Structure 1
Amino acid sequence: MQFSSTSSYIVADELALAVNAAVTLEKPLLLKGEPGTGKTKLAEELAASLGVPLLRWQIKSTTKAQQGLYEYDAVSRLRDSQLGSDKVHDISNYIKPGKLWQAFTAAQRPVLLIDEIDKADIEFPNDLLHELDQMEFHVYETGEQITAQQRPIVVITSNNEKELPDAFLRRCFFHYINFPDAATLSDIVRVHYPDIQRELLQTALEVFFDVRKLPNLKKKPSTSELIDWLKLLLVEDIGPQQLRDSKGLMPMFGALLKNEQDVQLVEKLAFMARRRES
């Protein structure tokens, strides 16, 4: 398998190599990078390019590793027993397969996305070591042993909110997605807006990178936020000259700046720049 850029997703050569290496080694691909750099999108595009199912396990702060295997609904079984239902005689009626179970038993080799693993408890990755390494687990309630028919392609994303355990990292192929340069961003934008004027795109990228370079910025705007901002500029018919003439906050700044501290910082710097010019 050789994964590369698609008609709707631009992938850097280093990232394409990482994807292909992880698939060859049959190890989970651990992706880190700024939010909005396309980590989740990569798994979606990988599944689409291979023509295989995508199973997405969205991790939250309350997610437990067991939920990825299966969940046993003891409450429903108790209720059914009180109602005299015949279902209670088969405990498998109360076993709900999780995303790993679905991936292991899929008829076609799927892409399994474990999204934002760093949001979970620190023990969460360790609790999945055996299952991701051996591709099997035991169902205690039924005595079944669930073993993968074929190893799914596993993509794990992290926004670096927590450090991951060394034992878990050893079992992964790691890649950090660097923020795209201007040329790559230009290619990405043209995938979404193929008819955008070159001058508008160039001016918008200059403004965008100027904002990202500001000192003490609490949240740097991401690729996805650039795409949103450009959509607004196109809808409102805001041209490159209007962007250059802007003396304060850039038009539609709410797409790029996401908290009041950053808005105040940009306003302050723009005010100081005007004073120096006068």
Structure 2
Amino acid sequence: MRFQGTKNYIATEDLKLAVDAALNLEKPLLVKGEPGTGKTMLAVEVAKSLGLRLIEWHIKSTTKASQGLYEYDAVSRLRDSQLGNEKVKDIKNYIKKGKLWDAFDSDEQVVLLVDEVDKADIEFPNDLLQELDRMEFYCYELDKTIKAKKRPLVIITSNNEKDLPDAFLRRCFFHFIAFPDRAVLESIINVHIPKIKKSLLKKSLDMFFDVRKVPGLKKKPTTSELIDWLKLIVSDDLAQELIAKKDKELLPPLYGALLKNEQDVELLQRLAFMTRRES
């Protein structure tokens, strides 16, 4: 199997090679990059492209590694035993399978997305070392080892919010999704907004890259925010006129789709004011 991208996902050659390498090496693919660069969507589109089922495990700050394996509901079993419920005789009734168990138990190969692994506690990646390396884990309640029937393609995403342990990194194939250059961005936009005019696209991208180049921005606008912004621009004649007339003013129309905090808005407003005063 080889990943060639899809009509909805423009993948660079190095990203395609990274997916293929993870498949061939049978290692998890660790994908890092700015938020909004398509890390999560990569797993979705890889599954579509290869015709595999996708299992998604979205990590939160409270997520524990054991939840990906299984959870044993001892409280419900105690309550049922007090009520004389017959189901209490089979402990399987109180074990909830996690996402890894689901992936291991599949008769066909699946794509397992572990999304935003850096949100969890620092020990979270270490707690999954053996399970991801050996593709098996032990269930104490059933006195049974759960082994993967077909080794899943594991795609792990990280926003670089914290460093990951070296032992975990050694077990992964790593790829960093760099921010797309102008040509790739145009291809991505043409997929999502095929009817956008070339002149509008050019001027909008000029403005977008000008904003990203501003020093001191707390959060630079990303690909997903650019697409949202352009969708608004396409549906707003006044915004299109403002973009056509833009000279050196840095504050774009409908900037709320691009800028996500008041510090960045104030920074661009000051720069725009200074530019107007100088001119």
Q: TM-score, normalising length from structure 2?
A: 0.97
**How big is each residue's C-alpha offset from its partner over 1:170-222, in whole Å with a ceiling of 9 and x where there is no partner?**
00000000000011000000000111100011111111111110000000001
8 A Cα contact 1:248 1:271, kept in partner: no
The answer for the alignment partner of 1:216 in structure 2 is 216
Alignment of 1:257-276 (within 5 A): 257-276=259-278
8 A Cα contact 1:91 1:141, kept in partner: yes
The answer for the alignment partner of 1:67 in structure 2 is 67
Alignment of 1:154-169 (within 5 A): 154-169=154-169
8 A Cα contact 1:203 1:240, kept in partner: no
8 A Cα contact 1:199 1:240, kept in partner: no
8 A Cα contact 1:55 1:113, kept in partner: yes
Alignment of 1:239-254 (within 5 A): 240-246=240-246, 247=249, 249-254=251-256
Letter in 1 for 2:143: G
The alpha-carbon deviation at position 8 of structure 1 amounts to 0.5
Letter in 1 for 2:214: L
The alpha-carbon deviation at position 239 of structure 1 amounts to 5.9
The alpha-carbon deviation at position 249 of structure 1 amounts to 2.6
The alpha-carbon deviation at position 133 of structure 1 amounts to 0.3
The alpha-carbon deviation at position 245 of structure 1 amounts to 2.6
CA distance in 2, matches of 1:237, 1:57: 41
Q: Secondary structure at the match of 2:237?
A: coil
CA distance in 2, matches of 1:22, 1:261: 40
CA distance in 1, matches of 2:250, 2:169: 45
Alignment of 1:185-224 (within 5 A): 185-224=185-224
8 A Cα contact 1:32 1:159, kept in partner: yes
CA distance in 1, matches of 2:237, 2:141: 62
Letter in 2 for 1:260: E
- Output the aligned Cα RMSD: 1.1
Identify unmatched segments of 5+ residues in structure 2.
Answer: none
**How big is each residue's C-alpha offset from its partner over 1:75-126, in whole Å with a ceiling of 9 and x where there is no partner?**
1111111111011111110000000000001122100000000000000000
Deviating runs (4+, > 6 A) in structure 1?
none
The alpha-carbon deviation at position 234 of structure 1 amounts to 1.1
Alignment of 1:226-237 (within 5 A): 226-237=226-237
Q: Secondary structure at the match of 1:155?
A: strand
**How big is each residue's C-alpha offset from its partner over 1:39-76, in whole Å with a ceiling of 9 and x where there is no partner?**
00000000011111100000011000000000001111
Q: TM-score, normalising length from structure 1?
A: 0.97
The answer for the alignment partner of 1:45 in structure 2 is 45
- Of stretches 95-104 and 232-241 in structure 1, the one that deviates more from structure 2 is 232-241
Question: What number of residue pairs does the alignment pair up?
Answer: 277
Q: 1:139 to 1:249 in 2, by over 3 A?
A: same
Residue 255 (structure 1) aligned to one of 254, 257, 268? 257
Letter in 1 for 2:15: L
Letter in 1 for 2:96: K
